[in-house]
Amino acid sequence: MKLKPCPTLLLSALLLYCASALPAPYTPANDATVLERLPFKANDPASRELRQLRDELSADPRNLDKAVALSQRYFQLAMAEGDPRFIGYAQAALAPWWELAEPPVPALVMRASLRQYNHDFIKALSDLEQATRREPRNGPAWSLLAAVHMVQADYSAARKDCANLHGLASELIVLACSATVGSLSGPAQQAYGELRKAYASSPDASPAARLWVTTRLAEMADRLGLVREADAWFKAALQLDIADAYLQAVYAEFLLDEQRYREVMTLLKGKERSDVLLVRLALAEKALGAPQAKQHEQAIRARFDAARLRGDKLHIQDEARFHLYFLNDTQEALRLARENWLSQHEPSDARMLLEAALAAKDAAAAKPALEWLAQSHIEDRHLQRLALQIGQMGVQP
Amino acid sequence: MKRLLTTLLLLSTVLCGNAHAHKPSDSYLILKTQGATIQGQWDIALRDLDFAIGLDGNGNGEITWGELRARHDAIAAYVLPRFNIRADDAACPVHVSGNQVDNHTDGAYAVLHFVADCAQPPATLELAYSLLFDVDPQHRGLLRLEHQGVTTTAIFSPDKAAQHFDLREVTLLRQFLDYAKEGVWHIWIGFDHIMFLLALLLPAVVHRERKQWVAHGFRPAFWNVLQVVTAFTVAHSITLSLATLGVVSLPSRLVESAIAASVVLAALNNIFPLFEGKRWMVAFAFGLIHGFGFASVLADLGLPQNALLLALVGFNLGVEGGQLAIVSVFLPVAYYLHETRFYRHAVLSGGSVLIALLASVWLLERVFNFKLLPF
């Protein structure tokens, strides 16, 4: 009997093969088989620029300016692509200064950027405190310090950091800094209005500043429940056409909340390399019952397993999300959300903890986030809705 | 058919390629000891190798199997000096025995199969890892070391680039666990020990008043059980140790017959009370004999001369664990039933008669060396 090919069967076998987390070494059939695609071709402008910077530095590895420039360039790539290998390369450029207690201030600030990317907030904070003490007119150091203080929910410190930015950054950035702190810790409507006005009167702002400000405005509008305005700000930020993994992640979250799943799939198409973005994409696919949802779920699980092997806890908030919405393991989701809350206090961290506590019907576990909610006076429709639900759960017999 | 397959294979690179993750850089190292040689497998990301020494020969942003093959020698020359194996303070030279490819979550990896030749089967290993740390300090080497069926894992980082492994410790732990498992297994299949214990435990939840069995409260019942089990444990541990260490030895037929006799006596005592209220003394006295029985099982398993005590303790703890499991099933059930007539008549009296009969057959078998029962 002649065997007939069955495309469906072959395709399912193929999907199984892709999804299987079990690696098995093999020998490719022929020399033309493509094994890997690199992030850059050798002749890409970005590739050439990096190669030139690297060559210059290796000729003179203790040249601080060149080292910081290369490190900065890799850091930008990591932010744009969400690819942590670039963080390692950025750190390598700083090798002569990395272990020093008091490196030159530019190296210190760069080291703090990389440390906060790796969620080592304690060390980043101590670097930045040292940098601002030794060089009180270092604008990047103050703005990074403000960002770290915000992650740690230390709003009074963040407010002072923003005040110290006066004269060291554009008026728009200074105002955006304090408006962001203000919107996390008090009357959000007022902060939003002020920042919107300042943005409208700064038509000459740099694209990077515009990206930063429009993203903040979108987040503020979302927290206030101004859905249409939020959507418009997100779109304005995307139109700047600067690759930014954070922007894509928060816009995807916004679209998921609005149940605009198809738009999530369009937004994140081809962005599967980033764990953060893949989780959001898979959530949309799951909601739509899309065929690739299962395969992506497997891929996410394999990535979290790989991260655990090396002892990484970078994406613990997303791991909690994965356990809650894909594996329906409410207890493990809650455990991870609580662990995440220990080091990070941003609205999305609070939201994850509240959602996990609600799913696990454990009002006591939500307490730290509820306390933060009360103390910070943050106005966030998602958090307030969840807090209300948990309150109702608490009074039920 | 062939075209379809080719299409699907192409599709697979695209589909699977899409799902590759952004991940910090890791390499995966597997070492398996085999006598004096160590078999190794080292998976290193193509992206990392390209960054370190360049793989993309034609610069088109794609790495083919042909481009990788052309660089196999260069890869070996680059990576082998960055991983050193020393066994018992002598270097184990490494050579590559084969090259393959594999896919991990973040893309394709070069797979280096290698062999390290040590002077003798290693007792300790000193591993020093420095791959890629100079170009990517966030790189980690994830090690899986397999030695005599035991797997150890470790993570190499710039802060922990050299690590020491004592393979003897691994083996000792393994031996300990093996003997503990044997201990549990032996009490589980050793019907004579279980019957002896049951014969002593059946009356523990009741006591005799004017020739009648009367129900106990939980406290005295629990206390009785604890006394009996402790006495039995202490007694058989003493003789098990003495026999294993070679201080005392008894002929095994005598021991086996005495064990059977002890079961008969313990069961008969429930019907015609001889040692009333002193069951823990019975447990102790006969426990001494049961210990010799355990010792002959342990001797049959073969004793490691370098770890005699370890095997002894592991086996004994296994026996106690198995025994505890039996008691923890028995006590709640017996206590639940102990006020019923069913317990006093059917379970206690009937059970004791059955045990006595069964053990009598064992006794005959063992004294006269023939076989009636299958167990």
What DSSP string runs through A39-52?
SS-TTSHHHHHHHH
> pLDDT tens digit string along B260-290?
999 998 888 888 877 766 788 888 999 999 9
B95 — phi, psi (to 5°)? Answer: -135, 150
The answer to whether residue A320 is domain-embedded is: no
User: In sequence order, what DSSP letters do the residues of A278-296 get, joined into one string?
Assistant: HHHHHHHHHHHT-TTHHHH
| B233 Cα distance to chain centroid | 23
Looking at beta carbons, which residues of chain B come within 8 Å of A299?
A: 19, 21, 105
What single DSSP character describes residue A26?
Answer: B
State whether A231 and A247 are in the same domain.
no
* Cα(A275)–Cα(A308) distance, integer angstroms: 14
Which three-class secondary structure state does DSSP give residue B96?
Answer: strand
State whether A50 and A132 are in the same domain.
yes
The answer to whether residue A194 is domain-embedded is: yes
Strand B140-147 to strand B26-34: parallel, antiparallel, or no bridges (unpaired)? parallel
Tokens found for residue A283:
């959530």
Q: Do A14 and B15 touch (CB under 8 A)?
A: yes
State whether A254 and A211 are in the same domain.
no
Strand partners, A243: none
State whether A123 and A229 are in the same domain.
no
Query: What is the pLDDT confidence band of residue B308, given thresholds at 50, 70 and 90?
Result: confident
State whether A372 and A395 are in the same domain.
yes
> pLDDT tens digit string along B139-162?
999 999 998 877 888 999 999 999
For the cut 70, the answer to whether the pLDDT of residue A315 exceeds it is yes
> pLDDT tens digit string along A146-188?
999 999 999 999 999 999 999 999 999 999 999 999 999 988 9
Provide CB contacts within 8 A for A3, sequence distance 6+: none
- Domain ends where: A168, A187, A209? A168
State whether A191 and A152 are in the same domain.
no
Q: How far is CA B9 from CA A130, B5, B14, B255, in A?
A: 55, 6, 9, 69
- Domains of chain B, by residue range, sit at 24-160, 171-368
- Mean pLDDT, residues A186-191 taken together: 92
B282 — phi, psi (to 5°)? Answer: -60, -45
Give chain A's count of helices (H) and strands (E): 22, 1
Using CA atoms of A66, A72, A77, A83 in order, give the dihedral in degrees to the nearest 10. Answer: 110
End-to-end CA distance of chain B: 61
Residue A6, pLDDT score: 39
The answer to whether residue A202 is domain-embedded is: yes
Q: Is B107 left (phi over 0), alpha (psi -120 to 50) or beta?
A: left
Residues 27-86, chain A, touching B (beta carbon < 8 A): 27-28, 30-44, 81-85
Q: How many CB pairs under 8 A join A and B?
A: 169
Determine the distance in angstroms separating the CA of B60 from the nearest CA of chain A, rounded to an integer.
5
Q: Where in the sequence is the domain holding A274, given as residue range(s)?
A: 243-312
User: In sequence order, what DSSP letters do the residues of B148-193 get, joined into one string?
Assistant: TTEEEEEEEBTTB-EEEEEHHHHHHHHHHHHHHHHHHHHHHH-HHH
State whether A158 and A188 are in the same domain.
no
Q: Tell me which residue in A5, A37, A312 faces B4 most closely, judged by beta carbons.
A: A5
Q: Do A299 and B105 touch (CB under 8 A)?
A: yes
* Cα(B201)–Cα(B332) distance, integer angstroms: 12
Greatest mean pLDDT among A251-255, A376-380, B85-89, B237-241: A251-255
Residue type, B248: V
State whether A53 and A164 are in the same domain.
yes
Q: Tell me which residue in A5, A89, A311 faces B136 most closely, judged by beta carbons.
A: A89
For the cut 90, the answer to whether the pLDDT of residue A70 exceeds it is yes
- Domain ends where: A240, A268, A283? A240
State whether A150 and A218 are in the same domain.
no
* b/e sequence A362-394, b meaning 16+ C-beta within 10 Å: bbebbebbbebbeebebbbebbeebbebbeeee
Residue B374, pLDDT score: 67
* Cα(B332)–Cα(B311) distance, integer angstroms: 32
The answer to whether residue A78 is domain-embedded is: yes
The answer to whether residue A353 is domain-embedded is: yes
Residue A20, pLDDT score: 41
Least reliable range by pLDDT among A3-7, A247-251, A264-268, B315-319: A3-7
The answer to whether residue A358 is domain-embedded is: yes
Residue B306, pLDDT score: 64
> pLDDT tens digit string along B13-48?
333 334 467 888 999 999 999 989 999 999 999 999
* Cα(A351)–Cα(A345) distance, integer angstroms: 10
For the cut 50, the answer to whether the pLDDT of residue B347 exceeds it is yes
- Mean pLDDT, residues A106-120 taken together: 95
For the cut 80, the answer to whether the pLDDT of residue A276 exceeds it is yes
Burial tier of A289 (Cβ tally within 10 Å: 0-12, 13-18, 19+): exposed
- The residue among B4, B18, B22, B26 with the most chain A CBs within 10 A of its CB, best to mutate, is B22
* Cα(A356)–Cα(A334) distance, integer angstroms: 5
Determine the distance in angstroms separating the CA of A248 from the nearest CA of chain B, rounded to an integer.
15
Q: Do A31 and B65 touch (CB under 8 A)?
A: yes
State whether A276 and A197 are in the same domain.
no
Q: How far is CA A222 from CA A184, A255, A336, A377, A383, in A?
A: 13, 11, 26, 16, 12
> pLDDT tens digit string along B68-106?
999 999 999 999 999 999 999 899 999 999 999 999 888
Determine the distance in angstroms separating the CA of B93 from the nearest CA of chain A, rounded to an integer.
24
* Cα(B209)–Cα(B123) distance, integer angstroms: 65
- Domain ends where: A184, A219, A240? A240
The number of distinct structural domains making up chain A is 4
Q: Do B235 and B291 form a contact (C-beta atoms < 8 A)? A: yes
For the cut 80, the answer to whether the pLDDT of residue B174 exceeds it is no
State whether A75 and A163 are in the same domain.
yes
State whether A269 and A369 are in the same domain.
no
| A8 close to B (CB below 8 A) | no
- In terms of Cα–Cα distance, which of A218, A221, A282 is closest to A244? A218
For the cut 80, the answer to whether the pLDDT of residue A241 exceeds it is yes
Q: Do B59 and A35 touch (CB under 8 A)?
A: no
Residue A9, pLDDT score: 39
ipTM of the complex: 0.83
Looking at beta carbons, which residues of chain B come within 8 Å of A5?
A: 1, 4-5
Least reliable range by pLDDT among A336-340, B118-122, B210-214, B236-240: B210-214
Q: Sign of dihedral through CA atoms B198, B202, B205, B208?
A: negative
Helical axes B218-244 vs B191-201, angle rounded to 10°: 150
- Mean pLDDT, residues B170-198 taken together: 83
- In terms of Cα–Cα distance, which of A75, A141, A146 is closest to A108? A141
